[in-house]
Amino acid sequence: MAQTLFEKIWRQHVVRELDGNAALVAIDRVFLHERTGSVALKSLRDAGRSVLDPARVFCTMDHIVDTLPGRGDDTLMPGGRAFIVETREAALAAGIRLFDVRDPQQGIVHVISPELGIVLPGATVVCPDSHTCTQGAMGALAWGIGSTEAEHALATGTLRVNKPKTMRVRFEGRLAPGVTAKDLTLALISRHGSAGGNGYAVEYAGSAVTALEVEARLTLCNMATEFSAMTGMIAPDQKTFEYLEGRQYAPRDAGWEQAVAHWRTLVTDEGASFDREILIEVDELAPMVTWGTSPQHAVAITATVPTLEASGTAPEGYARALQYMGLEAGASLLGLPVGAAFIGSCTNSRISDLRRAAAVLRGRKVAPGVRAICVPGSMTVKRQAEAEGLDRVFRDAGFEWRESGCSMCFFSGGESFGARERVISSTNRNFESRQGPETRTHIASPETVAASAIAGHIADVRPLLAGSSTGHH
C-alpha cells in the first residue's frame, strides 16, 4: 500500500503498539540543552536511573550562555551560571557528548545537529525544545518534548507517542527574488492559523520546496511548531545527501552507501493519502512581516495592519495584539521606525542566512540610533563567516558580531531589548515580552531585517536587490 514519508519512518520505529492510537517508538537521537535538558538529566539521576545509550545522546549550551565575546560560565541571566555548571556535571556523569561553552562546535541545538550530521534521514530525533521540528528538514521525524519525556527517552531509548494525523503542505511555483523559506512559513501560518497544524505531522512538498537548499528547508520546518504541528518534515533527496556526506557523525564508507540506499526509499509514495492537504501557490508571494503578537499575525510587507475582519483572529486577541504593538488597523508596516535589528536564532542564523544579509549590508550603514546585532547559529558558522569576511561586512555596517547561541531570540532575565522598543528580528516568535519586557517584535527574513536596519524603519529588501542576483534558491 502506498505510504507517506511519515508512515514509513513511524513504522520503522514502532517497538510495540499500545492502547488506542499510541505506540512505543524507538528514538535514535536525543539532544539536550542547559535550559530544559539539565533538569531531565538531574531528575533521571535522582531517580537512580541511567542513560541507556549515551553515544546517541548529545547536549549543548545555547540558551543561557552569553553571546558576548570572552564569555565563560558567568552569564547576564541571574542564576544562569548554576544551569551551566549543573548541566556540565550531569552530562559528564551521564557520559554524553557535550558541546560546552568554549567548544569550537558549540551552537544552537537545531543548527549544530544537522551541521555535524547528528540528525540523519529516517531518524527519530527528540529534544526538550519546541523547535526540534527544524530537523525534520533532513527527512527525519524530529519533534519537541517535555523534560519528563526526555527522561523517558534517555532511560529507555523509546517514547510512548500518540500517532498524529498526516498533512501535506505543497508549495508550488517559483519564489520571486527576496522571497525566502521564512516567507513561506509565515504565509502558511498567517493563512491557516497558529493552531492550523494541531494534531498533525506535516510534510512540506512541491516544486518550491524541492528547489530550496537544505539550509532554507531547515528554516521552513523550524516554524512547524508555530503552526502547532507535531513536526514538519521534507523528503530527503540528493541535496540532503550531498549536504550530509563527510559530516562528523554521518555514516562513512560502506555504511554511507548502505544508508543512502535506505534513505532513497524515504519518500511519500505516489497515491499515498494524507488526512489533510494544503496548496499554496508561491509565485505571487512577497516578503512577509508580522504586525501582532502571534506568528499568525503576518502579512506581505507592503500591506497594512489588517482590520479585525481581515485578521482572522478573535476580537479580544486582536485588540490586545494591536495595543501591545502600538499599532492601528490600516497602518502601513513599511516605514515603521525600528530601534533594533536582530539576525540570529535557529530559524535564520546559518551561513546562507548570513551571506544573504551581508549581501544587503555590503557598503551600507545601519541607520543612526538603531542597535543591530548578529549572532551566528554556531561557532562553525561563525568561523566560516569570518573566513569569508562576512564579519567585516556586518561590523562595518554597524552590527555587533557575537558568539553563537540563542541570545536575544528570547528574554531570559538578563539581556533584552527595551520596553515598547520596536525590533525587526529574524527569529520565530513575536510573543508578548519574548525579546524583553514589553518589547515589540516584528519577525521577518534576515534580508528584510538587514534592509530595515539600514533604513531605520521596516523596509522592503527588494529594491536593494535590483540588479544583483540573490542566487539563493
Tell the smallest beta-carbon distance from residue 103 to ligand SF4 (Å).
Answer: 17
The residue type at 272: A
Pattern 312-331, binding to other proteins, x per CB under 8 A? Answer: -xx-xx--x-----------
Pattern 412-441, binding to ligand SF4, x per CB under 6 A? Answer: ----------------x-------------
Q: Which stretch binds ligand SF4 (CB under 6 A): 145-153, 168-176, 361-369, 404-412?
A: 404-412
Tell the smallest beta-carbon distance from residue 127 to ligand SF4 (Å).
Answer: 9
| Residue 15 binds to other proteins (criterion: CB under 8 A) | yes
Return the C-alpha cell found at 74. 558567568
217 contacts 120 by C-beta, under 8 angstroms: no
Nearest CB to ligand SF4, comparing residues 223 and 266: 223
Pattern 124-143, binding to other proteins, x per CB under 8 A? Answer: ----xxx-------------
CA–CA gap between residue 372 and residue 38 (Å, rounded): 31
Nearest CB to other proteins, comparing residues 131 and 382: 131
> Which string of b and e fits 45-62 if b means at least 16 CB within 10 Å?
beeeeebeeeebbbbbbb
| Residue 341 binds to ligand SF4 (criterion: CB under 6 A) | no
Window 440-469: residues binding other proteins (CB under 8 A): none
CA–CA gap between residue 436 and residue 50 (Å, rounded): 38
Nearest CB to ligand SF4, comparing residues 223 and 250: 223
| Residue 406 binds to ligand SF4 (criterion: CB under 6 A) | yes
Please choose which of ligand SF4, other proteins, none residue 108 contacts, taking the beta carbon within 5 to 8 angstroms, the exact cut-off set by kind. ligand SF4
Q: Which stretch binds ligand SF4 (CB under 6 A): 20-28, 160-168, 229-237, 405-413?
A: 405-413
Q: Which stretch binds ligand SF4 (CB under 6 A): 113-121, 183-191, 193-201, 406-414?
A: 406-414
| Residue 308 binds to other proteins (criterion: CB under 8 A) | no
Report which of 120, 390, 96, 74 is spatially closest to residue 263, judged by C-alpha positions: 120
Tell the smallest beta-carbon distance from residue 338 to other proteins (Å).
Answer: 22
Window 366-405: residues binding other proteins (CB under 8 A): none
Tell the smallest beta-carbon distance from residue 227 to ligand SF4 (Å).
Answer: 14
Pattern 442-461, binding to ligand SF4, x per CB under 6 A? Answer: --------------------
Helix axes 390-397, 379-387, angle to 10 degrees: 90
Please report, for residues 52, 197, 220, 404, 444, the alpha-carbon distance to residue 213 in angstroms, rounded to integers and kept in the order given: 35, 24, 11, 22, 19
The residue type at 378: S
Tell the smallest beta-carbon distance from residue 90 to ligand SF4 (Å).
Answer: 19
Window 258-297: residues binding other proteins (CB under 8 A): 258-259, 262, 293-294, 296
Nearest CB to ligand SF4, comparing residues 108 and 167: 108
Helix axes 351-361, 390-397, angle to 10 degrees: 50
Interface pick for ligand SF4 out of 39, 96, 108, 267 (rule CB under 6 A)? 108
Nearest CB to other proteins, comparing residues 246 and 255: 255
SS3 content of the chain, % helix, strand, coil (to 5): 35, 20, 45
Query: What's the half-sphere exposure (Cβ side, CA atoms, 13 Å) at 468?
Result: 14
| Residue 190 binds to other proteins (criterion: CB under 8 A) | no
Window 195-254: residues binding other proteins (CB under 8 A): 195, 198-199, 225-226, 228-230, 249, 251
User: What radius of gyration do the chain's Cα atoms show?
Assistant: 21
The residue type at 53: D
Report which of 449, 131, 417 is spatially closest to residue 301, judged by C-alpha positions: 449
128 contacts 147 by C-beta, under 8 angstroms: yes
> Which string of b and e fits 291-327 if b means at least 16 CB within 10 Å?
bbbbbbbbbbbebbbbeeeebebeeebbeebbebbeb
Interface pick for other proteins out of 7, 62, 149, 391 (rule CB under 8 A)? 149
Nearest CB to other proteins, comparing residues 125 and 453: 125
Nearest CB to ligand SF4, comparing residues 333 and 409: 409
| Residue 200 binds to ligand SF4 (criterion: CB under 6 A) | no
CA–CA gap between residue 285 and residue 469 (Å, rounded): 18
Which are the contacts of 66, defined by CB distance < 8 A and separation ≥ 6?
74, 75, 76, 403, 405, 414, 415
Tell the smallest beta-carbon distance from residue 159 to ligand SF4 (Å).
Answer: 20
Report which of 462, 433, 436 is spatially closest to residue 447, judged by C-alpha positions: 462
Tell the smallest beta-carbon distance from residue 310 to other proteins (Å).
Answer: 17
Which are the contacts of 403, defined by CB distance < 8 A and separation ≥ 6?
66, 67, 68, 69, 71, 375, 376, 379, 382
CA–CA gap between residue 415 and residue 435 (Å, rounded): 9
Interface pick for ligand SF4 out of 28, 100, 115, 129 (rule CB under 6 A)? 129
> Would you tell me which residues interact with ligand SF4 (CB under 6 A)?
62-63, 108, 129, 131, 345-346, 406, 409-410, 428
